[in-house]
Amino acid sequence: MLTYVVRRLLYGVLTFFGITIAIFVLVHSVPGDPVSFYIGSHGMGALSHAALDEIRREHHLDQPIPQQYGWWLRGIVTFDFGTSFINHRPVTALIAEKLPSTFMLNLVAFLVAALIGVPIGLWSATRSGRTSERASGVAFFLLYSLPSFWVALLLMQLFSVHFHILPLFGMTSDDYLDRGLTSKVADRAMHLILPVVTLAYAQMAIYARFSKSALTEVIRQDFITTARAKGATSAAVLWHHALRNALIPLITLLGLTLPYLVSGSVIVEEIFQWDGIGRLYFDAISTRDYPTILGLSVATAVATLFASLLADILYAVADPRIRLEGK
Nearest Cα to Cα of residue 68 among 77, 57, 78: 57
**pLDDT tier, 142 (very low <50, low <70, confident <90, very high otherwise):** confident
Contact 260/199 with Cβ under 8 angstroms? no
**pLDDT tier, 192 (very low <50, low <70, confident <90, very high otherwise):** very high
Model confidence at 277: pLDDT above 70: yes
> Domain for residue 201, yes or no?
yes
**pLDDT tier, 38 (very low <50, low <70, confident <90, very high otherwise):** low
pLDDT: which is higher, 32 or 208: 208
Contact 287/85 with Cβ under 8 angstroms? yes
Question: Mean pLDDT, to the nearest integer, of 138-160?
Answer: 87
What percent of the chain is predicted at pLDDT more than 90?
A: 7
Q: State how far the Cα of 196 lies from the Cα of 276, in Å rounded to an integer.
A: 14
As beta bridge partners, residue 83 has 90
φ/ψ of 71, rounded to 5, equals -60, -45
Q: What is the CATH number of the domain that holds 229?
A: 1.10.3720.10
**pLDDT tier, 45 (very low <50, low <70, confident <90, very high otherwise):** low
> Domain for residue 38, yes or no?
no
* Range in 46-55, 166-175, 226-235, 296-305 the model is least confident about: 46-55
> Domain for residue 160, yes or no?
yes
Question: Mean pLDDT, to the nearest integer, of 127-142?
Answer: 79
pLDDT of residue 158: 92
Q: State how far the Cα of 59 lies from the Cα of 61, in Å rounded to an integer.
A: 5
Q: State how far the Cα of 302 lies from the Cα of 309, in Å rounded to an integer.
A: 10
**pLDDT tier, 122 (very low <50, low <70, confident <90, very high otherwise):** confident
Q: What is the dihedral of CA 47, 53, 56, 62, to 10 degrees?
A: 150
pLDDT of residue 297: 85
pLDDT: which is higher, 187 or 36: 187
* Range in 213-227, 236-250, 299-313 the model is least confident about: 236-250
pLDDT of residue 224: 74
> Domain for residue 324, yes or no?
no
**pLDDT tier, 319 (very low <50, low <70, confident <90, very high otherwise):** low
CA 188 from chain centre, in angstroms, equals 21
> Domain for residue 220, yes or no?
yes
Q: State how far the Cα of 196 lies from the Cα of 111, in Å rounded to an integer.
A: 10
> Domain for residue 245, yes or no?
yes
Would the pTM count as exceeding 0.85?
Answer: no
Question: Mean pLDDT, to the nearest integer, of 176-186?
Answer: 87
Per-residue pLDDT tens digits for 47-94: 666 766 776 777 677 778 888 888 888 878 787 888 887 778 888 899
What percent of the chain is predicted at pLDDT more than 70?
A: 83
> Domain for residue 251, yes or no?
yes
Long-range contacts of range 26-32, CB-CB < 8 Å, 24 or more positions apart? 27/290, 27/293, 27/294, 27/297, 28/65, 28/68, 28/290, 30/288, 32/288
> Domain for residue 124, yes or no?
yes
Per-residue pLDDT tens digits for 200-214: 888 888 888 888 887
Q: State how far the Cα of 2 lies from the Cα of 69, in Å rounded to an integer.
A: 34
**pLDDT tier, 35 (very low <50, low <70, confident <90, very high otherwise):** low
Q: How many domains does the chain contain in total?
A: 1
pLDDT of residue 47: 60
Question: Mean pLDDT, to the nearest integer, of 222-235?
Answer: 74
3-class SS letters over the chain: CHHHHHHHHHHHHHHHHHHHHHHHHHHHHCCCCHHHHHHHHHCHHHCCHHHHHHHHHHCCCCCCHHHHHHHHHHHHHCCCCCECCCCCCEHHHHHHHHHHHHHHHHHHHHHHHHHHHHHHHHHHHCCCCCHHHHHHHHHHHHHHHCCHHHHHHHHHHHHHHHCCCCCCCCCCCCCHHHCCHHHHHHHHHHHHHHHHHHHHHHHHHHHHHHHHHHHHHHHCCHHHHHHHHCCCCHHHHHHHHHHHHHHHHHHHHHHCHHHHHHHHHHHHHHHCCCCCHHHHHHHHHHCCCHHHHHHHHHHHHHHHHHHHHHHHHHHHHHCHHHHHHHC
Question: Mean pLDDT, to the nearest integer, of 171-179?
Answer: 85
Q: Which amino acid is at 134?
A: R
Model confidence at 42: pLDDT above 60: no
Domain encompassing residue 116: 99-286
* Range in 21-25, 91-95, 229-233 the model is least confident about: 229-233
